């Protein structure tokens, strides 16, 4: 059955850092959207969400926007150590967050700050060879997927970068090999012909170190490295035969293994570049994370987790939203969630010192000092977001008129009150 023509073509999806810009949407009567073409399950779910009512609240009671803005400014003005966190917003919202933190002497952290800062720390301490979505799609002849869970997120990476239709060089007779190393991704999401090598997530680092050792010609005293011996040798053969290997992983899903595995990826890439070409691609920066890191770096010289004041202090281990709240170092919080996917702020801040700018009602709305509904960039207003590979900033067009303010608009109003 042929789908009905879409009302909107070539829309950009703001709900993961791939920023797929080829979606076709159909408008529903409740101002939500159905995806006609090129969506994924995550996008289909979030585009179907109805817009939040544009009604600010103070302690659960309706107020007008100016009253809510004035109360939010009062909370930040009285705070000795305010925290501006969540930061799930677009470039303009991130810039406004930095400006507001500078004015009130606040600290800045993203909801995915642990993953973002671990990658920044890796880049600072040792450097890396990174690549882009286009390079993976057009040039890599071996793509090693390191336990990427496409069922949870980044599902369209397969369609955009790994399927034959996505690769112009496929017509010239070149071939590409795809290997999935790990246990997370369901086989039905992977292209036909993908080599699936089972490995427990806790042993991925060990497997990559063993692969690197074998590629350097070192025999292994034991073959128990998380991979079956035959699988390890097959992987060694595939990597040795490749001209350009791309190693793809998602740091946000790795937990305690994030830093050792990321370091092992960098070691492997460095080894491969001695005789061929290799690079890594980190699938991260969701919820506006890449935009927040980029905007903070442009304006301060540091990638988030900064404390503003007379000087700018970059302390990624100390300036952690959850830790600052749990230890009582933060006495007020302004929490930003323009995509409506994140929980309320970590517990520990009194309700009358809590401000939430959200695209969805928090579950504990009555316990929130100030709640100001905001629009989602790319749905309720135009915006810009930085893609996961950090080389492209995409413009998003507003798709509906809901009367919701942008994060940047609300934060600018608060700033004017300080």
**Distance of alpha carbon 99 from alpha carbon 238, whole angstroms:** 50
**Distance of alpha carbon 98 from alpha carbon 127, whole angstroms:** 26
**Distance of alpha carbon 227 from alpha carbon 308, whole angstroms:** 47
Beta bridge partners of 142: 177, 245
Q: DSSP 3-state assignment of 190?
A: coil
Contact 270, 129 (CB under 8 A): yes
pLDDT at 347: 84
pLDDT of 2 > 50? The answer is no
- What average pLDDT does range 9-36 have in this prediction? 94
Chain region(s) in the chain for CATH 3.40.228.10: 126-282
Specify the length of the chain in residues. Answer: 418
Question: How large is the C-alpha radius of gyration of the chain?
Answer: 23
What digits encode the pLDDT tens for the residues 148-205? Answer: 988 888 999 999 999 876 655 544 445 899 999 998 766 778 888 899 999 999 999 9
CA dihedral (196, 197, 203, 208) positive or negative: negative
- What average pLDDT does range 242-263 have in this prediction? 92
What digits encode the pLDDT tens for the residues 280-310? Answer: 999 999 999 999 999 999 999 999 999 998 8
What digits encode the pLDDT tens for the residues 68-81? Answer: 999 999 999 999 99
- What average pLDDT does range 349-365 have in this prediction? 86
Query: Mean pLDDT, the chain, as a whole number?
Result: 91
Residue with tokens 């504990």: 364
- What average pLDDT does range 39-49 have in this prediction? 94
What are the strands, taking DSSP E only, across 232-353? Answer: 244-249, 277-282, 306-307, 313-314, 332-337
pTM of the model: 0.92
What lies within 8 Å, CB to CB, of 167 at 6+ separation is 137, 138, 176
pLDDT of 340 > 80? The answer is yes
Instruction: Select from 179, 169, 143, 160 the least CA-distant residue to 387.
Output: 160
pLDDT at 345: 86
pLDDT at 3: 45
Q: DSSP 3-state assignment of 380?
A: coil
Residue 325 — pLDDT band, cuts 50, 70, 90? very high
The CB density around residue 275, as the number of other CB atoms within 10 Å, is 9
CATH topology for 57-112+287-417 is Rossmann fold (3.40.50)
Chain region(s) in the chain for CATH 3.40.50.740: 57-112+287-417
Q: How far is CA 239 from the centre of its chain?
A: 29
Angle at 85 between CA 82 and CA 86, to 5 degrees: 160
**Distance of alpha carbon 224 from alpha carbon 189, whole angstroms:** 28
Residue 366 — pLDDT band, cuts 50, 70, 90? low
Superfamily assignment of 126-282 in CATH?
Answer: Dimethylsulfoxide Reductase, domain 2 (3.40.228.10)
């Amino acid at each position: 059955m042929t789908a009905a023509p879409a009302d909107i073509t070539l829309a950009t999806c703001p709900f993961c850092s791939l920023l797929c810009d080829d979606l076709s949407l159909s408008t529903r009567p409740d101002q939500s959207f159905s995806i006609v073409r090129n969506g994924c399950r995550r996008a289909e779910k979030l585009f179907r969400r109805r817009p939040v009512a544009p009604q600010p609240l103070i302690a659960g009671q309706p107020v007008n926007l100016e009253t809510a803005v004035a109360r939010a400014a009062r909370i930040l003005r009285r705070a000795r150590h305010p925290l501006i966190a969540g930061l799930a917003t677009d470039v303009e919202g991130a810039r406004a967050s930095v400006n507001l933190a500078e004015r009130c002497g606040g600290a800045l952290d993203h909801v995915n700050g642990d993953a973002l800062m671990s990658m920044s720390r890796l880049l600072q301490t040792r450097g890396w060879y990174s690549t882009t979505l286009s390079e993976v799609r057009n040039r890599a002849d071996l793509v090693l997927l390191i336990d990427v869970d496409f069922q949870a997120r980044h599902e369209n990476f397969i369609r955009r970068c790994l399927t034959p239709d996505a690769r112009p060089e496929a017509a010239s007779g070149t071939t590409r090999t795809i290997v999935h190393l790990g246990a997370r991704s369901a086989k039905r999401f992977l292209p036909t012909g993908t080599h699936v090598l089972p490995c427990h997530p806790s042993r991925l680092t060990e497997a990559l170190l063993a692969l690197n050792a074998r590629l350097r010609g070192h025999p292994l005293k034991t073959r128990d490295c998380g991979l079956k011996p035959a699988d390890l040798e097959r992987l060694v053969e595939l990597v040795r035969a490749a001209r350009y290997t791309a190693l793809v992983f998602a740091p946000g899903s790795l937990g305690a293994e994030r830093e050792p595995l990321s370091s092992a990826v960098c070691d492997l890439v460095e080894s491969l570049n001695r005789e061929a070409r290799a690079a890594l691609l980190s699938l991260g920066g969701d919820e506006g994370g890449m935009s927040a890191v980029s905007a903070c770096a442009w304006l301060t010289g540091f990638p988030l987790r900064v404390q503003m004041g007379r000087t700018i202090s970059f302390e990624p281990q100390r300036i952690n939203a959850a830790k600052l709240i749990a230890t009582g170092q933060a006495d007020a919080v302004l929490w930003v969630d323009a995509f409506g996917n994140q929980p309320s702020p970590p517990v520990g801040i009194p309700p009358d010192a809590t401000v939430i700018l959200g695209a969805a009602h928090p579950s504990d709305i009555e316990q929130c000092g100030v709640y100001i509904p905001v629009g989602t960039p790319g749905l309720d207003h135009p915006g810009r977001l930085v893609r996961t590979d950090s080389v492209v900033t995409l413009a998003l067009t507003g798709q509906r008129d809901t009367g919701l303010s942008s994060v940047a608009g609300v934060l600018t109003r608060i700033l004017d009150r300080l």
